[in-house]
Structure 1
Amino acid sequence: MASRSADENLHFESDTINFQDILELLKRPEHDYSWSTGIKESHLEDLHLEMVHSGAFFSFYNLYNRKQVQTDHEVMIKVVKPFPQWFGNKERSLRLSYEQRVLQKLEEFCPTNKAIKIHLFVPGNSFAFIENLKGYRTLDDHLLSKDFSEDLAKAIINNLIHIHKATFFATSNSNCLEDLEAQLQDCGFPGIIEKMTFICSFEKDNPTKCKDESLEKVLLQIYNNSTLLSSVADLKNSFHTNKECLIHGNLQTDSILCSLNGDIKFAGFEFAHVGSCAFDMACILVNYLVAFYHFLEPSEHSDQNHQFAQSMIEYMKISESYYLYLRTFFILIKNNTFLFSSLCSLIFLPFFTLFLPFSIFLFFFSFPTLL
């Protein structure tokens, strides 16, 4: 696991943070309860930084005093990565401010939510102190190591629908829903999700596309399919109009963390907004679908990999049926076919990963037979 010491130049996600900034925040008297004495009394040269996880939009680091024998009280830091230039100039500090605002609203509606807590964030910084995640691994790690189970798949759905249900009930009055949307719509970050999902993937010269000659024929079929492009335009409109509750908006594999005892936490609420529950559900299903095709690739362990690939289809079915089983509260309150109408619409979501453009084509033709 990569680590850095305090006397090194910090060239990880950003050069805009340094240990002096971190120390000054840790030593604030109003946060005495949050940090151990050992870390608060550290000297600059004693601080040790260790990368825990590096995702698409953020990374996690452990910070602790190298002179301490015990590191149980290490501090965990979330560092927000810059957006690619073609997303526009979105300050990282604003993204953390927005995420903090979302988590505050989520705490109000759903105090027992399993979102990763921000202990301390000071506006102007591209980092924040978050709760300790010792013992947690990302869904990506679990899938790549083939360490996954039906229980974990159900735990993820439980966590997701707990948030959906709480915010759906809390905002079932249209005025409440509109008020929440108004509070969260000024940042423009959900618009980035819209761009990645419904625009970038379908433009011939978009800079986000993977440059792979082997995909050119497939991509040309997409670009020249007027029916498909018209459907995408309809989906984009649905993304704006289908408002049900607070959704995460970016449930990729590095935004879902699983503990050894099966506890689930969600990270990265900077794209959260009032939208369709099906969007979150589609993200989860796409994670399994991408893993399915990943493990179909030829390798020295092809038999084991192919067997695990088939289990991904089962996890998709389990997740879909379990969500439907738990969502009866929606049916009781509102006669709504949002799940399948939206979920089937969002079959294009694999492009959301930015790195697997071919998966959209595979998902489009496989989805009807999978579920």
Structure 2
Amino acid sequence: MQRQHYTAEHELFRDGYRQFLRKEVLPHREAWREAGIVPREMFRKMGEHGYLLIWADEKYGGLGVEDFRFQQVMLEEDARYGEAGFYHTLHSRLVAPYLKHFGNAEQQARLLPKCVSGESILAIAMTEPDAGSDLAGMKTRATDCGDHWLLNGTKTYISNGINADLVVVAAKTNPDNPRQIGLFLVQRGMEGFERGRTLAKMGLKAQDTAELFFRDVKVPKENVLGDPFKGFHYLMRGLAEERLIGSVMYLGNAWGSFEVTCEFVKQRMVFGKALSEMQNTRFKLGSMRTELEVAQTYVDHCVDRHNAAELTAEVAAMAKLFTSEVEGRVVDECVQLHGGAGYMEEYEVCWRYTNARISRVYGGSSEIMREIVARSILGR
């Protein structure tokens, strides 16, 4: 059933994107998981079809689509027919907007076209071995050397870390003020920029998560985003959309898990009848469907507020908190209803379960989300 949230144009876009995923992604996702990385050519294919940076201006090769619902459609279809480890959304919607909002005209003209085409893959490097949600604990430093900045430090858990051609690196620029941070554009091939090992993970097996090392990397002044002392504020600006994107993804995975479980319990025979005929199963499905529908209504509401430029940090935090927790409960219940089969990787619900565990951690943990909401109620 078409949700009133969408128009016929959105559904037409959905049909086209779904066909693309079924042809270009669905047949290959198991191989990508085994390889631990998505081939670079997939970003090119996305670009050729206009699916990267759909918001970008036509002069850069984009579609100029500002309506977030089109991105929501892509995220929902990714959850069903795509590969969760294919981080094209990080490229398009989490990193590239820094170029849009804080890059100057020269930087945008130089960098955005290749991002739109998929020739240049993006990543962002904030997390460090001893600094996650608390950016004030960051140790990476950038020193002003006149005609360039000298960058030193280590980043970890960096998504697209191996594939990335352009990395937005957060680094402290004033040793006396931990909140003065700069955002530096580090490009593939810069001397002193090295990649470590691909990190083995519980889930998201196809996603190339890596360590990055910066040893006396000379970053030219033209590769600094905006004011080199206001990066902390730049990072905060993008968090509401990042958490909304996460919310759509978490809910999509929960819906996907629910749908495959509904099919499984209809086929699974226990004591001479289908598992779906057991009262316990029916009650659990009823509870899950209710949670999913409630969460979907709230997420759609948040998307509408975002389109109207009214999505606040606390509302986005509530969305991320609620959807990631719903996802965790739903996928766990779905594994339980699969029985022993749910523990087997050949069953879809198994990898959906392992993928889901990180949702309550990255992009701000559930504990951080609760703190943000609490501050909106009580103040600091």
The two structures have a TM-score, normalised by structure 1, of 0.26
The two structures have a TM-score, normalised by structure 2, of 0.26
